[in-house]
Chains A and B, each alone.
Chain A
Amino acid sequence: MEPITGAEILVRCLKEEGVEYLFGYPGGAVLHIYDALYNQDEVKHVLVRHEQAAVHAAEGYARASGKIGVVLVTSGPGVTNAVTGIADAYMDSIPLVVFSGQVPTALIGNDAFQEVDAVGITRPCVKHNFLVRDIKNLAETIKKAFYIASTGRPGPVLIDLPKDITIAKAEFHYPKKIKLRSYNPTVKGHAGQIRKAVDLILSAKRPMIYTGGGVILSEGSTELVELTQLLSYPITNTLMGLGAYPATDKQFVGMLGMHGTYEANMAMHNCDVLIAIGARFDDRVTGKIDKFCPTARIVHVDIDPSSISKNVKVDIPIVGSVPNVLRAMINVIRDEKLRPDAEALARWWRQIDEWRAMKSLSYRPSDEVIKPQYVIEKLYRVTEGKAIITSDVGQHQMWAAQYYHFDRPRQWINSGGLGTMGFGLPAAMGAKLAFPDQDVACVTGDGSIQMMLQELATMKQYHTPVKIVNLNNGYLGMVRQWQEFFYQKRYCMTYFESLPDFVMLAEAYGHVGMRIEKPGEVEGALREAFAMKDRTVFLDFLTDQTENVFPMIPSGGGQNEMLLAERDEMVSTHDEGMVLL
C-alpha cells in the first residue's frame, strides 16, 4: 500500500466514518489538511466566520440528526475560539469530534506562533482528548475519537494535530472495530435492579416520571412513550428533554424546574415515587436540594454512573442506556400483567388537574404591544408545530420552551447546560444542513443574536434558509428580570442604548428583513416569512420591554414555592438563595 500523508489519512478517516459535513476555519497549522480537502467532494466543508460558530453549527447538526458533529480549526486562537462551543457540547453531552491544528512537534512548548496547549485548555470540557505524536497512530486515534464521542454518555472529543504529523506519511489502515480496556460503558441494565424498580413504580400512589436529554441522546423516545402510556402516569420533561414525550399528549404536564409549569413542579414536590430517566437533577430543576421531592422514593436510570446520587441520593439506581432499560421494564410489566393502583392514580390525576386549572402559563394579552409569548404561540400555529426550533439563551429561550409544544425528539435544540448566548443561529444552520426540507426557526433575542451575527454570511454562502425570530425588547431580558426582582430595579448594564437596524442588517447580508411592531401583524409576518422557502428571513419583533418569564421558582425556593405571574408579589430571596443565583 502506498503511504499517504497525515492530512490525506484524516480525510480518508472522515469518509470511512461517513462524515457529511465538516465545520471549520483554515489557518497555518491546518493548511495541509485543507489541501487534502481540496480535490474531493464527499466531505463537504462549511466555512464559518468564527470558530465558535463552527462548533455550534456542528452541535446543531448533531442535535438535530443524532450523528456526530465534526469540526476542524487551526492552532492557537482557532482552538481557543472553539472552546466555548466544546464546553457547550460537553455540558449537554453532544457527540462531536474536533480536530485542532498544532504547531510542529519540534516547536511544541517553545511559545511558537499561534501555539496554545490545546489538550490542556480543553481537558476540563471534553469527554477525552488526544495529541497525536506519531503518524502511525493517527488513523487509530481518529477511530477511537469517533467511538468515544458517540458511545456511553456522548460528548466532545478533541484531536490535536501537529503540522508535521499532517505532512508525514504512513500506510492507511482504518480499524473496523475498536476496543479500549479502560472504556466500556454499561448499556444493559441490571435485571435485579430493574425488577426492584418495577415493583416500586407499580406500588406508587402518586407517581411522577421526570425525563431529560438522555432519552433523546439514546433514541429512547419510543420506549418512553410506550412505558408512560402503559402506566398512565404523569410525565414532565426537563429543558433538555423536551420532545422526548409529545407535549400535546394529556399525560404531559409541561416542563419542570425554575420556569416550569405549576402542575409539573407541584406534582414533583408531592409525588411518592419519582422515576427519573436520563436526567441529572440539575440545580435549575431541583431548586433548593433539601426541599426537593420530600416524600418521594426515587428510581434513576442513567448511562453515566456519576450522574446517579450526585446531587440527590436515589433509592434504586440503574446504570444502562434508556431504551434498553425501559424495554426491560416494559417486558416485566407486560409479562406479569402488572397494573398500577387505578384508584390512587385517579385521585392523583384529579389533584394534578386542579393544579393544571391554575393555568400557570397564562399571560396578559395586549392589542397595543407585542407580547413575546404571543409570538411563540403564533410561531407554533404557523409552523403547525412541526418546525425544528433552535434557541439562544435568555427569556426567549424559556418562552420558546413553554409555548412551542414539541411533539418529537430532536425538534428542540438549545444550549441547556452551559447557557451559551450565540448558540442559536449557528445551531440553526447546522440543523438546516441536516434537514434541508424541514422548516427551521431560530428563536433569539437582541442580546444573543449579536453574539454570532457574522454567521448570516455563512448562511448565505451555504444556502441554509432559516427563519430568525428575534424577540427584541432592547434589554438583556433575563438579567433585567433578575435585577427587577432581586436588585431593586437597579438595571445595571442590561439596556442596549444602541441596537442595529436588524432589517437593514439582514439585507446587508443578502437576506430578507422584516420589522413587526404591532400584535396584529405577528401572524401575517410569520406566514409571509415561512412562505419564502428558500430565503433566510430575519423577523425583528419589537416586544414588550417589561415582560417577565413566569412561573418562576426564585433561587433558594422549593418546587412548591412558585411565583405564578405579575400578580404574585415578588418576595426578595434570602441570602442563601442569592448565592444560588
Chain B
Amino acid sequence: MNNDRHLISILMENEAGALSRVANLFSARGYNIESLTVAPTDDPTLSRLTLVTCGNEQIIEQIIKQLNKLIDVVKLIDLSETDAIERELMLVKTKASGEQRAEMMRLAEIFGGRILDVTEATYTIELTGAGNKLDNFLRAVEKDAILEVVRSGATGIARGQKALRA
C-alpha cells in the first residue's frame, strides 16, 4: 500500500473550537498530521485550514469524508488531486562568519531566499517554496551551520479559474 502525501485545504466556520474539531478527529481516528496551518480569510466568518497528511487511498478517502462530516467544515479540496500551487514559508538562522558568510549568501540566492537579519556571526534567511524545496535547502547547508529552523507548514491553492468559496 502506498502512503502518499496529501495536501488538503479546508474552508470552515471561523468559530471557537473549529480547529480542535479537526485536530481531535485526526488523533481520535489515528490519522497523521504532518503540518497544519490556519488563518481567517477575506470573509471574517470563514477560516482556511490547510493540512498535510499521508495515507493510502482508503485512508485519505475516510479522512476527507470524516472532515466533511464535521458541522463546521463548509468545503474542502484535496489539492494533491488537482493542479495546485503549494507554498511554505521557512525562516532559518545560520552561522555566517569567515568563509561561510559568502557561501551562505550564495546558497540563499540560489534558492531564491532573502536575508532578513544580519549580525557579525549569523544570517536569518527567509525562504518560500514547496516543502521539498525547503528540505533541499536544509540539506545543502552544512549541518552545524544551522542554528534555528522555523517552518510555517504547507499551504496551497488550485491553479486555474477554480476557487474554493462558501
Contact = CB atoms under 8 A, between A and B. Distances in A.
Nearest to A308: B65
A187 interface: no
Nearest to B63: A306
Interface residues of B, number: 20
A180 B71 contact: yes
Contacts of B21: 123
A137 to B, nearest CB: 11
A128 B74 CA distance: 14
Contacts of B12: 182
A6 B47 CA distance: 30
Interface in A125-172: 127-129, 131, 133, 148
B68 A305 contact: yes
A309 B58 CA distance: 8
Contacts of B166: 181
A87 B4 CA distance: 33
B32 interface: no
A348 to B, nearest CB: 31
A31 to B, nearest CB: 26
Nearest to A310: B62
B17 A182 contact: no
Interface string B20-48: 11001000100000000000000000000
Contacts, number: 40
Interface in B52-74: 58, 61-62, 65-66, 68-69, 71-74
B140 interface: no
A128 B71 contact: yes
A50 B65 CA distance: 36
Contacts of B65: 305-306, 308, 310
B74 A181 contact: yes
B110 interface: no
Nearest to B68: A305
B71 A131 contact: no
Given A131-B17, A182-B74, A309-B58, A124 B69 contact: no
Contacts of A308: 65
B17 A123 contact: yes
B1 interface: no
A317 to B, nearest CB: 11
B40 to A, nearest CB: 16
A123 B16 CA distance: 13
A183 interface: yes
A223 to B, nearest CB: 25
A120 B71 contact: no
Nearest to B75: A182
A182 B165 CA distance: 12
Contacts of A180: 71
A183 B73 CA distance: 8
Q: Considering the complex of A and B, which 10 residue pairs feature the smallest CB-CB distances, nearest first? A: A306-B65, A182-B74, A128-B71, A305-B65, A183-B71, A124-B28, A306-B69, A306-B66, A123-B24, A181-B166
Interface of A: 119-120, 123-124, 127-129, 131, 133, 148, 180-183, 304-306, 308-310, 313
15 contacts: A120-B20, A123-B20, A124-B24, A128-B71, A129-B17, A133-B16, A148-B71, A181-B166, A182-B12, A182-B13, A182-B73, A182-B74, A306-B65, A306-B66, A313-B58
Given A119-B17, A182-B74, A305-B69, 7 more contacts: A123-B20, A124-B28, A131-B16, A182-B12, A183-B71, A306-B65, A306-B68
